Structure 1
């Protein structure tokens, strides 16, 4: 123990992503010492399935933590997690299923059944979670008849916190994205009724900053939150609705933190817990994953797709229409059964025209999300970006031009992961961001082309 007291004190955070497990070690001031990531083992993404092995994730975290504690005196461990994971456990906390990600669409029949019962609107109004197969509530309803009576629904993060602390505790932001939690901050009776569970079957609710001693008493586990909540902490998004976040990763989002609920069928609205406001915005299912598919289709890298596609759009050449719904789509349609295609192809179109049309349609999705928020009375005076695809300056400039809005880059680090570190550092849980770079719109014709593409995508869905 004397040797450990001489070690540098440090913090560690893990981001439980859809496609990667990321971790970072920092000193107590938040300066990065180590940053790494790994694609989880045991991932299944065939057919309607999108799963991770929770035992592998836990074992890897324990291994990383063990190695870190050889080098540093780890004071706190914190989490950021992808939204909408579902893991079913037994009464002892043993997994009965894999961890299902938001991309798992096998619960589509359950979603359709609930839509036909005309309960979708009531659930959306009471929980803020659109009725869609991404929802852990819908996944649980789909699986419930095949499970033992003692089974209980939790998130992947809940399971990891339990393994590290022996306590079933969750944060408001993670619970809010599950579909089980009401916008009032209590478990929703209507959701519990359709799920056939009681509040006693679910973890205790706590703020994102709650710190719990681990089972060894050597460090504390900070609950952390979903990846949007922790990103908003790092990006300094106060609950006043004036600042938005534009995120581009495997999936995408355009969101803000509002002081009040927003009721729109196109938008999600998740409580962040007492005094923290509501996470409101659009979620897009086809961003980095769609671009990776396009890249593989043409035997290119994603960066080549971005460069070639953006250059083609900027030249103003006539483009086909890319319908980008490869994985169905969430905002604004919330439909699992949409499909991708290119329309209007002619012999004059080549590969780069198809790439450009894909980029233009992605820009149009963000444009529609921005329109919807502002039509709901949530004006965004500032749009902030962090890491992910948008750490590429040429792509950030393309989005600024397409939206005709300035974008401000907070830093090139992973905002969600660093937000988890911020929560480990501060009981207040909100940081003051340092703007690294501004992007100002400089290409008005891109705005006009994007606006036109929004109309085309809306007409496609209505056809």
Structure 2
């Protein structure tokens, strides 16, 4: 049976798990990493801290498992970039995190190319994606070395190879959605035409070997984190969807093997490429979920995330929150949006504020669910969820109430690494079908809507009015559907 060390290198931590062929976790280690939140929308990480966390977490997980491994696999943040020396592997810049908004000006310069970029890449022109941050780094930090997403650097340090996987590349704004290859014209558009770029590999490919964890072990099954969770939660058919509640909340829906574009402002990208066939997905983002909880911790509203349910009021008493602490994504795409509370009175307490933040996160997820349903042409019947914040019954019930669909909680805290494990298995055994590489599961908890549809609709209408007030500040840019354009 294949035993895999899976490393999930995330925004606020690195997790390593050793998983056997039956899906049992034999060893686990988690180490925090600390993004620096800077004035002006900057978010950076120390590359050395990222690498050290990958090596140390991997070694700790292996020590706890006490068994040899057959492969190492890596899931990555997706849109975090850095410059580095391809000769020495040394970083030449901080890592510019996916939440960083300092490339807004570059996106504004290219506003006239918005439709061309969307049609070519399936993505919305926004600082969230890789290329604007790469261009900003080149303008403001260094012209030396190469500039890539963080996975390419980490894999290079492990194997010496210069690669990125197809799902990560599809998040860049400079790859074509239809064939997931670099697009020379878009690279020129972002001022990246002369850059040396990594080879794009499939998700079921052995990309090299590493001795970083003892012996010489293949590195295989590379994938971006959210797509890894989509796979682990068995969203293998068109229309099946999941939402991961981590630093942000990310709702992805499988769209099958056709490279469809969203008509409602969602991003379209590669889910994975396995056995020569590419699967695609729509995705929408809530930029602040656990990071909004950390913000509440910093303000003293809650001590830890485990306190959310105890502190949250039973009713918000009319208080609403638009938790746009790092801007708003689909369908607004307003990186300049700021967070706001409305409806407060002298009787408003911390419990009302905590509940309003959780309901604000849930309301954004509900908006994304509507967009996915519009693009798929059918409503979601079930939403599968994973991530640390699924422990909050208040948040999960709010998601069920506002989406008006059943919520199935994934039984493991390790959806992302388990998805990467499935791809590593597929890499090592070419005869293994993808569906057989994924472990079967049953939900640990299910939430059904308690609010009647009318109450949910009324809440969401009032919440949208609050969003309108937030987005009215400054220049409003809306994303219209193709039907509306007609």
Q: TM-score, normalised by structure 1?
A: 0.89
Residues 92 and 144 in structure 2, CA contact (< 8 A), matched pair in contact too: no
Partner of 1:244: 241
- Are 2:459 and 1:450 equivalent residues in the alignment? yes
Residues 15 and 57 in structure 2, CA contact (< 8 A), matched pair in contact too: no
**CA 1:413–1:378 in structure 2 vs 1: closer, same or farther (change >3 Å)?**
farther
- Are 2:299 and 1:297 equivalent residues in the alignment? yes
Give 1:253 shift. 1.7
How far does the alpha carbon of each residue in 1:317-357 deviate from its partner, in whole angstroms, 9 at most, with x for none?
3x123221111122222222111122232223333222232
Give 1:200 shift. 7.3
Partner of 1:415: 415
In the aligned structure 2, how far is the partner of 1:20 from the partner of 1:213?
25
How far does the alpha carbon of each residue in 1:36-67 deviate from its partner, in whole angstroms, 9 at most, with x for none?
211126x4222233222223322343344455
Residues 91 and 150 in structure 1, CA contact (< 8 A), matched pair in contact too: no
Residues 271 and 278 in structure 1, CA contact (< 8 A), matched pair in contact too: yes
Please show how residues 63-82 of structure 1 align to structure 2 within 5 Å: 63-66=56-59, 71-82=66-77
What is the alpha-carbon root mean square deviation over aligned residues? 2.5
In the aligned structure 2, how far is the partner of 1:354 from the partner of 1:36?
34
In the aligned structure 2, how far is the partner of 1:461 from the partner of 1:61?
39
Moved more, 176-185 or 425-434: 425-434
- Are 2:152 and 1:158 equivalent residues in the alignment? yes
**CA 1:307–1:189 in structure 2 vs 1: closer, same or farther (change >3 Å)?**
farther
**Residue 205 of structure 1 aligns to a residue in which SS?**
strand
In the aligned structure 1, how far is the partner of 2:208 from the partner of 2:414?
26
- Are 2:49 and 1:52 equivalent residues in the alignment? no
**Residue 411 of structure 1 aligns to a residue in which SS?**
coil
In the aligned structure 2, how far is the partner of 1:343 from the partner of 1:100?
32
In the aligned structure 2, how far is the partner of 1:310 from the partner of 1:275?
48
In the aligned structure 2, how far is the partner of 1:392 from the partner of 1:269?
29
Residues 224 and 230 in structure 1, CA contact (< 8 A), matched pair in contact too: no
- Are 2:187 and 1:179 equivalent residues in the alignment? no
Partner of 1:140: 134
**Residue 36 of structure 2 aligns to a residue in which SS?**
coil
Ranges in structure 2 where 5+ consecutive residues have no aligned partner: 428-432, 473-486
In the aligned structure 2, how far is the partner of 1:294 from the partner of 1:149?
38
In the aligned structure 2, how far is the partner of 1:145 from the partner of 1:98?
14
- Are 2:164 and 1:170 equivalent residues in the alignment? yes
Please show how residues 72-111 of structure 1 align to structure 2 within 5 Å: 72-92=67-87, 93-111=89-107
**CA 1:67–1:392 in structure 2 vs 1: closer, same or farther (change >3 Å)?**
closer
Residues 310 and 398 in structure 1, CA contact (< 8 A), matched pair in contact too: no
**Residue 102 of structure 1 aligns to a residue in which SS?**
coil
In the aligned structure 2, how far is the partner of 1:449 from the partner of 1:176?
37
In the aligned structure 1, how far is the partner of 2:124 from the partner of 2:68?
43
How far does the alpha carbon of each residue in 1:66-90 deviate from its partner, in whole angstroms, 9 at most, with x for none?
5566632121110111121111123
Residues 169 and 175 in structure 2, CA contact (< 8 A), matched pair in contact too: yes
Aligned residues: 448
**Residue 22 of structure 1 aligns to a residue in which SS?**
strand
In the aligned structure 2, how far is the partner of 1:448 from the partner of 1:333?
19
Residues 362 and 399 in structure 2, CA contact (< 8 A), matched pair in contact too: yes
In the aligned structure 1, how far is the partner of 2:320 from the partner of 2:394?
22
In the aligned structure 2, how far is the partner of 1:142 from the partner of 1:149?
11
In the aligned structure 1, how far is the partner of 2:368 from the partner of 2:210?
44
Partner of 1:5: none
- Are 2:255 and 1:255 equivalent residues in the alignment? no
**Residue 376 of structure 1 aligns to a residue in which SS?**
helix
Residues 239 and 277 in structure 1, CA contact (< 8 A), matched pair in contact too: no
**Residue 438 of structure 1 aligns to a residue in which SS?**
strand
Residues 359 and 395 in structure 2, CA contact (< 8 A), matched pair in contact too: no
Residues 264 and 374 in structure 2, CA contact (< 8 A), matched pair in contact too: no
Partner of 2:361: 362
